[in-house]
Amino acid sequence: MDKSLQNPWKNLSSKPPYVLPEDMFIIERSRHAKELRIDTLPDPFVGGLESAEVIFLALNPGFIDSDIELNLKMPEFLEANRTNLNDPHGSPFYYFSGSFEETGGHIWWKRKLKPLLQAGITESVLREKIMLIEYLGYHSKNADKIKGLKVPSQHFSFNLVREAISRQKTIVIMRSKKLWLEAVPELDAYPYMTLNSSLNVTISPKNIGEANFEIILKKLTNKEPQED
């Protein structure tokens, strides 16, 4: 973990294109450039490492038209995104902040975490106790087409994962296990969780395993997992 690594996202422009200058230098010269949607706000991470108990590792945020049509017209969303970019340690998982139900992020995460909600975990608990870290922070419609892209801003996200390891957080690799192990070799010796399906990344007992699901419930409720 490099404590001297500065947060580059504090320098993100408030106007499109929403891309860091050091990343743009590489993106413009890459065959992946046309796949990225840098006309909407990036989500390299969502939530705060300080209070989060469960850290989800994904590939990159998806894209739907409402990301532009809806999100960028909501001042409170712009503020929440900017706050999170500036402070990935103390910010909440803002998609569960209570006023973003119509956003694609809220809809997607509520669907993927439905089994936890059905088990009694509330959105307010998820708001404080989960965090997402993306391998690449920029949106695209097809994640598979950007797997080979590497930009400088990723190093800060990789460092957040190293910090999560040092803090002994529960880590779930939702997608792209190979890429994550290459980017953060420290994960190889860490007891991370994976999903049975990387296409359907729902956090359910069937997809993550009943024992792991109980561990996650324990982390989110501070209760001991039930014995068989």
As to burial, measured by CB atoms within 10 angstroms (0-12 exposed, 13-18 middle, 19+ buried), residue 31 is: exposed
Rounded distance, CA 197 to CA 109, Å? Answer: 16
Mean pLDDT of 148-164: 96
Tell whether 5 is covered by a domain. no
Tell whether 136 is covered by a domain. yes
CATH code of the domain covering residue 73: 3.40.470
Tell whether 7 is covered by a domain. no
Rounded distance, CA 212 to CA 170, Å? Answer: 10
Residue entry with tokens 């001042």: 75
Tell whether 179 is covered by a domain. yes
φ and ψ at 45, to 5 degrees? Answer: -160, 150
Count structural domains, the chain. Answer: 1
Tell whether 102 is covered by a domain. yes
Q: Where are the alpha helices (H) located in the chain, listed in sequence order?
A: 21-27, 66-69, 75-86, 104-112, 114-118, 123-129, 154-166, 177-183, 205-208, 210-221
Tell whether 145 is covered by a domain. yes
Q: How far is CA 152 from the centre of its chain?
A: 17
Tell whether 130 is covered by a domain. yes
- Secondary structure of residue 5 in the 3-state scheme: coil
Digit-coded pLDDT (tens) for 174-215: 999 999 999 999 999 999 999 999 889 999 999 999 999 999
Lowest mean pLDDT among 42-56, 113-127, 139-153, 161-175: 139-153
Tell whether 204 is covered by a domain. yes
Domain limits for position 172:
16-221
